[in-house]
Amino acid sequence: MKFSSSFAILASSLALVAAQSIDIGAPADGSTVTAGSNVVVEVDRPDSLTGSTEVAIVIGLATCQSAGNCPAPLDFLGTILYNGPYSPEFQNNGSGPNKPPYQNFTVTIPAGASGPSQLNVLHLALVGASEGAFLEAKNISLTVVN
């Protein structure tokens, strides 16, 4: 009996966490960006019935040794491009498919960056009735050119 109740708690916790997860909507994974240019980073948070309080996100750019050989985002975010509040909202314009709540951030790719890189987004929220801390890291691969 103890096993089944522990499993139920684990399953409900995983569902709660999955409901609060973010996605990087732009730029597309594998994109090429220019050093010194501005890039719009779209951070999506799929709509959920589970209550949450968004706390903050951090966006960083890490240079990789080679394509696919990047540090883990929780270990190294790279050069911090944005650090602050995250307030995703529905912004449907009436044409095309509906988007989940999201927020756009315009960041500048560092002038000295070059080669295979990883755009990292660290997300912190308080979830559920008990407002437990939820921390996650998402990333996409980029190639930075001069």
Instruction: Convert the pLDDT of each residue in 105-142 to its tens digit.
Output: 999 999 999 999 999 999 999 998 889 999 999 999 99
Alpha-carbon span 41 to 24, nearest angstrom: 7
**Mean of all residue pLDDT scores within the chain:** 86
Please spell the DSSP secondary structure of 26-82, one letter per residue: ESPTTEEEETT-EEEEEEE----SS-EEEEEEEEEEEE-SBTTB---TTT---EEEE
Residue 133's pLDDT is what? 95
Instruction: State pLDDT tens for residues 28-79.
Output: 999 999 999 999 999 999 877 778 899 999 999 999 988 778 888 889 999 9
Domains of the chain: 2-145 (2.60.40.1930)
Count CB atoms within 10 A of the CB of residue 4: 8
Tracing tokens 């990789």 back to the chain, one arrives at 64
